């Protein structure tokens, strides 16, 4: 909701962000937003229908047994097929796209051999090894958050590559076009809202039990990362900790000044991925207008010449 509203705010003043952007890169919900754009849906539709109606209905029907997925990944795939049919990434010719996912690997008992897990970068960029993948499969794979859903063909949420696909997008763009340099790349990264996490306890004497399962401190602001799961500080640190500032810091170091903007407003409280409370959804839309002014100025300056 927050990401789509930020994009809508930008597009209202600079419509070229939707028509002249060379590469849309998405992870998880970002992939879902890009999928809707590829299907020709407007941002008004994405916010009012895709999120406020369809997503709210989907997230309102989860089951509560933590030994099972809360939601059906097959329903996500069915929804994507309804949007795109059997269209592949390579069939998308007017827009370059990148969707991140992570394959957990497999094991063949008959041969006692395993296929190691590995990151997946689905794209239609030149020389992409997976341009024949359907859009529906790529987007579903990028969105299958463990605990929330089961895997899709062994693929799980792109957050396990990284929550922020910026560096992957830059690398893929450079790899697909040898004449391209960092001086040619402008990036606007849109986040889902910064929610501050911390471990309130002194971790000096923690063993594996506390790192994996938390210590029950009521003032611990490290929420359960996996929906319906227990607090796992080490898992949250691995996934959310690096997303706090690592990729923005690296991207800012890589790209020339004025060619990278990070739009990710701070949220006052923790909002779970499947929150359908109307007040929280309204709050997210409101916070979309509260991006860092300096970063917003950089984004607007880029978009004036997009």
* The residue count for the chain: 306
Domains and CATH numbers, the chain: 2-197+256-303 (3.40.1090.10)
The pLDDT value recorded for residue 282 is: 97
Burial 28-55 (b: 16+ CB within 10 A, else e): bbbbbbbbbbbbeeebeebbeebbbeeb
Sequence-ordered list of residues with C-beta below 8 angstroms from that of 67, at least 6 positions apart, any chain:
none
Strands 96-103 and 23-26: parallel
Find residue 213's DSSP bridge partners: none
How far apart, in whole angstroms, are the C-alpha atoms of residue 177 and residue 127?
A: 9
Q: What is the DSSP string of 118-177?
A: EEEEEE-STT-TTTTSBHHHHHHHHH--BTTB--BTTEEEGGGT-S--HHHHHHHHHHH-
The pLDDT value recorded for residue 146 is: 95
Around Cβ 113, how many Cβ atoms within 10 Å?
9
The pLDDT value recorded for residue 221 is: 77
How far apart, in whole angstroms, are the C-alpha atoms of residue 242 and residue 27?
A: 15
Element (H, E) at 100: strand 96-103
Signed CA dihedral, 127, 129, 132, 138: sign only: negative
The pLDDT value recorded for residue 227 is: 85
How far apart, in whole angstroms, are the C-alpha atoms of residue 175 and residue 169?
A: 10
Q: Considering only the C-alpha atoms of the chain, give the largest distance between any 2 of them, rounded to a whole number of Å.
A: 59
Going by the DSSP 8-state scheme, the letter that residue 118 receives in this structure is E
Q: How far is CA 66 from the centre of its chain?
A: 23
SS3 240: helix
The pLDDT value recorded for residue 226 is: 85
CA dist list (Å): 114 to 118, 208, 209: 12, 27, 29
Question: In a structure prediction context, what are the per-residue pLDDT tens digits for the chain, which is 306 residues long?
Answer: 999 999 999 999 999 999 999 999 999 999 999 999 999 999 999 999 999 999 999 999 999 898 999 999 999 999 999 999 999 999 999 999 999 999 999 999 999 999 999 999 999 999 999 999 999 999 999 999 999 999 999 999 999 999 999 999 999 999 999 999 999 999 999 999 999 888 888 999 999 999 998 876 776 778 888 888 888 999 888 888 887 789 999 999 999 999 999 999 999 998 999 999 999 999 999 999 999 999 999 999 999 999
Say if residues 155 and 88 touch (Cβ distance below 8 Å): no
């Amino acid at each position: 909701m927050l990401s789509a509203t930020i994009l809508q705010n930008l597009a209202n003043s600079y419509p070229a962000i939707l028509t002249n952007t060379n590469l849309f890169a998405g992870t998880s919900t970002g992939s879902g937003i890009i999928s809707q754009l590829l299907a020709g849906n407007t941002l008004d539709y994405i916010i009012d229908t895709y999120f406020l109606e369809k997503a709210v209905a989907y997230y309102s029907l989860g089951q509560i047994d933590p030994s099972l997925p809360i939601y059906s990944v097959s329903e996500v795939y069915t929804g994507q097929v309804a949007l795109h049919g059997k269209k592949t990434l390579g069939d998308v010719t007017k827009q370059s796209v990148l969707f991140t996912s992570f394959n957990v690997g497999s094991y063949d008992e008959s041969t006692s051999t395993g296929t190691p897990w590995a990151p997946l970068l689905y794209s239609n960029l030149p020389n992409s090894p997976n341009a024949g993948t359907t859009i529906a499969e790529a987007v579903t794979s990028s969105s299958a958050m463990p605990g929330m859903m089961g895997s899709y063909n062994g693929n799980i949420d792109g957050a396990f590559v990284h929550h922020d696909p910026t560096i992957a997008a830059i690398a893929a763009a450079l790899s697909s076009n040898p004449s391209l340099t960092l001086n040619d790349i402008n990036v606007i990264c849109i986040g889902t809202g910064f929610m501050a996490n911390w471990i309130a306890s002194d971790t000096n004497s923690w063993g594996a039990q506390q790192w994996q399962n938390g210590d029950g401190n009521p003032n611990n602001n490290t929420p359960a990362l996996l929906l319906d799961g227990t607090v796992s500080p080490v898992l949250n640190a691995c996934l959310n900790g690096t997303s706090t500032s690592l990729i923005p810091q690296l991207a800012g170091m890589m790209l020339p000044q004025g060619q990278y903007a990070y739009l990710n407003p701070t949220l006052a409280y923790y909002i779970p991925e499947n929150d359908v409370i109307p007040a929280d959804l309204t709050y997210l839309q409101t916070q979309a207008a509260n991006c860092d002014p300096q970063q917003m100025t950089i984004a607007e300056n880029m978009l004036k010449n997009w």
